[in-house]
Homo-oligomer: A and B are copies of this chain.
């Protein structure tokens, strides 16, 4: 519950701050992931944003409509598309980071660096725990439908 309420308050604050620029918190995440690489296939982006192919596509189409992102054919794999930030996307992202800088600072101020280290470690552990194949009662039959 604590995790939920921390995440949701962050997500909503971010949404509220970014809405002036017509971008959602989730789209901000996609843009940020793109900023860390020259170009990524949609498949790679799915991995980095913990999303799914069809969800991601819908988001990319929206971002493309806003001309923040370009999807071009992959040079060697003709099934794939390479996604990258447009110049405009890059500019906007810089603005968005600046806009959210104050919030991040306030956060860093209110926690010690030791606490932050523990926090990051815990969050990573949580993510791993929930991502594990879950060792369902595979031998005991399928779950009820």
Interface residues of A, Cβ cutoff 8 Å to B: 1-13, 20-21, 29, 32, 50, 103, 106-107, 110-111, 115-116, 118-127, 129-132, 134, 143-145
Contacts and interface: CB of A to CB of B under 8 A. Distances in A.
16 contacts: A1-B32, A3-B6, A4-B11, A4-B50, A5-B50, A5-B123, A5-B127, A6-B127, A9-B126, A13-B130, A20-B145, A21-B144, A103-B129, A115-B118, A118-B119, A119-B123
A107 B120 contact: no
A119 B116 CA distance: 9
Contacts of A134: 13, 103
A112 to B, nearest CB: 10
A20 B123 contact: no
Contacts of A121: 115
Contact of A2 (B4, B8, B127, B144): B127
